Amino acid sequence: MDETEFADLAEAHRRELQVHCYRLLGSLDEAEDLVQETFLRAWRAREQYAGRASLRAWLYKIATNTCLDFLDRAPRVVPSVDLPVASGSHLAPRPAAAVPWLQPGPDDLLDAAVARETVELAFLAAVQYLSPRQRAVLILRDVVGWTAKETATTLETTPASVNSSLLRARAELKEQLPSRRTEWRVESSGDERAVVSRYMAAITAGDDQAIAAVLRDDVRCSHQPGAGGHEGPEPTWYGGRATVLAGWAPVLHGPDAMELRMREVRANGGPAVATYLRHDGAFRAFGLNTLLVVDGSVAEVTTFVPGAFKAFGLPEVLPA
């Protein structure tokens, strides 16, 4: 098999391997880089493959270990910070923004995923709290659907060790996910679009009454460092409709109010809005807001840095 033939066969699996690496790492940029490294490792080890097994499974094995090697070289620690939980809240104690390297992903990439819940930001953020090997076990067993024996072969361990690690990973994941996640009502596409349209119109008009009407009373708002003008070494978040309205007021009202434009996109199986603020004669990227819509209202807004725009094919600047 020559290099061109091998590259063509491997390329057919690029998208699903990128999603796999994205789940393990939480970063689209790193996932893209490590898929490239996976293909390089695969080419160098091609004699070990020689068509004796499924090319897809072989590439998954290489990709998994490439990610684990990366995490071993550059270990990361999720901030041990807690979000006060309001009475009756259905949201996680820690929002997605608490994982500073987490990046949202466009749906046109993530459609390689069979189950929407395995690419939701809440899931991806929660997975980052697992150790790298627990993360790999959980994803290979519960997401990719491999057997304990297949997973053990990939990770060079035993099926018994895999099963033990999986139990611990599931228990930890349950602690990190929203307590009522399985009870979330998935909006129909029409209902969800209507809510997002109301949200965008209310924000653009700076209409506090309309904004309040589209937000849940216990809405949560969170920002990655540097997102939406929130500078600092750690993410910030706050909850409650009144608190959120007060936090947004400086941008929407008063002497420092700024004209803005919004574009709707899809991220991680849900709606998202790219926000641009007018500055120096043009509308410049301000933040990418992912939205959680529950029962006809916006329940959560997570703001990511403008660097997220590139993955969605969004320009950094719009003409005035």
Q: What is the DSSP string of 22-84?
A: HHHHS-HHHHHHHHHHHHHHHHHTHHHHTTSS-HHHHHHHHHHHHHHHHHHHS--------PP
Looking at the structure, tell me whether residues 27 and 86 fall in a common domain.
Answer: yes
Between the alpha carbon of residue 139 and those of residues 20, 131, 279, the distances in Å are 8, 12, 43
Q: How is residue 20 written in tokens?
A: 């796999």
Residue 145 confidence (pLDDT): 94
pLDDT at 52 over 80: no
Q: Which residue type does 13 have? A: H
Q: Do the beta carbons of residue 64 and residue 154 sit within 8 Å? A: yes
Q: How confident is the model at residue 64 (pLDDT cuts 50, 70, 90)?
A: very high
Cα–Cα distance measured from residue 179 to residue 191, given in angstroms and rounded to the nearest whole number? 24
Residue 147 DSSP SS3? coil
Query: Per-residue pLDDT tens for 190-221?
Result: 789 999 999 999 999 999 999 999 999 989 89
Residue 160 confidence (pLDDT): 98
Looking at the structure, tell me whether residues 174 and 224 fall in a common domain.
Answer: no
pLDDT at 184 over 70: no
Between the alpha carbon of residue 120 and those of residues 9, 45, 95, the distances in Å are 29, 34, 12
Q: What percent of the chain has pLDDT over 90?
A: 60
Looking at the structure, tell me whether residues 66 and 212 fall in a common domain.
Answer: no
Residue 80 confidence (pLDDT): 65
pLDDT at 183 over 70: no
Which residues have C-beta within 8 Å of that of residue 84, sequence separation ≥ 6? 239
Question: Residue 258: which domain range?
Answer: 185-319
List the single range of 23-27, 81-85, 130-134, 170-174 with lowest mean pLDDT.
81-85
Which of 88, 299, 89 has its CA nearest to residue 195? 299
Domain boundary among 163, 182, 201: 182
CA angle 205, 208, 211 (to 5 degrees): 80
Query: Mean pLDDT throughout 69-94?
Result: 68
Residue 252 confidence (pLDDT): 87
CATH value at residue 274 = 3.10.450.50
Query: Per-residue pLDDT tens for 126-160?
Result: 999 999 999 999 999 999 999 999 999 999 999 99
Q: What is the average pLDDT score of the chain?
A: 87
Cα–Cα distance measured from residue 276 to residue 262, given in angstroms and rounded to the nearest whole number? 6
Chain centre distance of CA 40? 26
Cα–Cα distance measured from residue 95 to residue 104, given in angstroms and rounded to the nearest whole number? 13
pLDDT at 82 over 90: no
Q: How confident is the model at residue 231 (pLDDT cuts 50, 70, 90)?
A: low
Residue 256 confidence (pLDDT): 77
Q: What is the DSSP pairing of strand 260-267 with strand 297-304?
A: unpaired
Looking at the structure, tell me whether residues 48 and 177 fall in a common domain.
Answer: yes
Q: How confident is the model at residue 2 (pLDDT cuts 50, 70, 90)?
A: confident
Looking at the structure, tell me whether residues 108 and 189 fall in a common domain.
Answer: no
Looking at the structure, tell me whether residues 124 and 13 fall in a common domain.
Answer: yes
Q: How is residue 148 written in tokens?
A: 């304990």
Q: Do the beta carbons of residue 230 and residue 222 sit within 8 Å? A: no
What is the number of domains present in the chain?
2
Residue 85 confidence (pLDDT): 47
Q: Do the beta carbons of residue 122 and residue 182 sit within 8 Å? A: no
Looking at the structure, tell me whether residues 196 and 151 fall in a common domain.
Answer: no
* Higher-scoring residue by pLDDT: 178, 186: 178
Q: Which of 8-12, 65-69, 191-195, 237-241 has the highest mean pLDDT?
A: 65-69
Domain boundary among 182, 213, 229: 182
Cα–Cα distance measured from residue 60 to residue 21, given in angstroms and rounded to the nearest whole number? 9
Collect contacts of 58-62 with beta carbons under 8 A, ≥24 apart. 59/10, 59/13, 59/17, 60/17, 60/20, 60/140, 60/144, 60/154, 61/153, 61/154, 62/38
HEC per residue, 253-289 = CCCCCCCEEEEEEEECCEEEEEEEEEECCEEEEEEEE
Residue 219 DSSP SS3? strand
* Higher-scoring residue by pLDDT: 76, 198: 198
Residue linked to tokens 């035993």: 158
Looking at the structure, tell me whether residues 165 and 228 fall in a common domain.
Answer: no
Looking at the structure, tell me whether residues 165 and 270 fall in a common domain.
Answer: no
Q: What percent of the chain has pLDDT over 70?
A: 88
Residue 182 confidence (pLDDT): 46
pLDDT at 179 over 70: no
CATH value at residue 168 = 1.20.140.160
Domain boundary among 165, 182, 199: 182
Residue 183 DSSP SS3? helix
Query: Per-residue pLDDT tens for 256-309?
Result: 788 999 999 999 989 999 999 998 889 999 999 999 998 899 999 999 999 999
Q: How confident is the model at residue 189 (pLDDT cuts 50, 70, 90)?
A: low
Q: How confident is the model at residue 239 (pLDDT cuts 50, 70, 90)?
A: confident
